Amino acid sequence: MKMITRRDFLKASAVVGATAALTACGGGDSSSTAASSTASSAPASSAAEEPAEEAAGGATIGICIYQFADNFMTLYRADLEEYLGELGYAVTIMDGKNDQSTQTEQINTFLQQGVDVLIINPVQTTSAQTIVDTISPSGIPIVFINREPDKAVLDSYPDKCCYVGADARQSGTYQGELILETETQGDINGDGVITYIMCKGDPENIDAQYRTEYSIKALTDAGKQVECLYEYLDNWDQTLAQQDVANALAQYGEQIEVVFCNNDAMALGALQSIQQVGRTVGTDIYLVGVDALADAVQAVMDGNMTGTVLNDDVGQATAATEATRLYVEGEPVEQYYWVDYVKVTPENAAEYL
């Protein structure tokens, strides 16, 4: 029997009362077409059997994701596709392929098509103002997700632009706390110093910056001494982190007590290298990530990761769907929607699988 997890629960409550209706539009090469929760090339699903009511006006929504090949954003976009589809909206999702000019072209195509709302996960947060300036003459509302633009950017398009995200300071703090909650409080060799390496995401991304800063701040705020051996620029990427942690283990060996990773993809890469050299998480090294990807949650349950932090894709996609619906229906929209992170430990991990 399948246990009802928090994700299931949130998913069940995410449907904001609309009948699913298939209002699919033509599938482009790198786009996927929703109104059902299917992948890009999947044929019309059971949603087609529902009466094609034009729920909430049958709006068209364009979504720009910075890169499909990102584990966390893959969960997030599947949620968005599902929830917006359940509202009867026709949804097209484009892959920015981690290239801002590709994403800008995609935005221009959506503008020509005259979509009702754009949901944008910018490739470069620093391009957010240019994105707003491109879109604002059309009057099309924007829901920024995942990569927080400056407040001035949101202010420049009043009542038409909002941000849905999670405060990355909280996730960093939780990572530090996970280390403080271990038996040795992160100081495995008992020399009074927590010695660590850090695998960082995209340096331009506020999530990477805050997680790097606040994970360590939690330790120093608790009166701990810390030593950073090296900060690696791994760009949220599992393979890069695997290579860098392998090198770090070869170079620093037993000195490394904690491996902090700004996300779980990199933590899973780090774990591969940790296991390869015969080190044991929880015994002679600690490892933390962020996102609560299924593989990472499993690793926490198995004792192969010290902990992770739930980056609530369900909650964020629910909030982004709600903001979109409000724009479609001409209702007032807040400027910010924040979703809490949650600490995931061996004790509660099963709830997040």
Give the binding site for ligand BGC (CB under 6 A). 70, 72-73, 146-147, 201, 205, 207, 236, 263, 265, 290-291, 311
Write out the H or E segment, with its range, that includes residue 147: none
The Cα 162–Cα 335 span in angstroms is: 4
Q: At what angle do helices 6-14 and 313-328 cross, to 10 degrees?
A: 10
Radius of gyration of the chain (CA): 21
Using alpha carbons, list the distances in angstroms from residue 329 to 86, 87, 322, 339, 346: 16, 12, 11, 23, 43
C-beta of 72: minimal distance to ligand BGC in Å?
4
Residue closer to ligand BGC by CB (options 56, 288) is 288
Q: Residue 234's closest CA among 262, 210, 258, 212?
A: 262
Residue closer to ligand BGC by CB (options 23, 121) is 121
Residue closer to ligand BGC by CB (options 84, 265) is 265
C-beta of 304: minimal distance to ligand BGC in Å?
19
Residue closer to ligand BGC by CB (options 74, 136) is 74
The Cα 247–Cα 243 span in angstroms is: 6
C-beta of 42: minimal distance to ligand BGC in Å?
25
C-beta of 291: minimal distance to ligand BGC in Å?
5
Residue closer to ligand BGC by CB (options 31, 263) is 263
Contact 103, 96 (CB under 8 A): yes
Residue closer to ligand BGC by CB (options 241, 265) is 265
C-beta of 229: minimal distance to ligand BGC in Å?
23
C-beta of 169: minimal distance to ligand BGC in Å?
13
C-beta of 73: minimal distance to ligand BGC in Å?
6
Residue closer to ligand BGC by CB (options 23, 173) is 173
What DSSP line would sit under 88-146, residue for residue? T-EEEEEE-TT-HHHHHHHHHHHHHHT-SEEEE--S-GGGHHHHHHHHGGGT--EEEES
Contact 186, 180 (CB under 8 A): yes
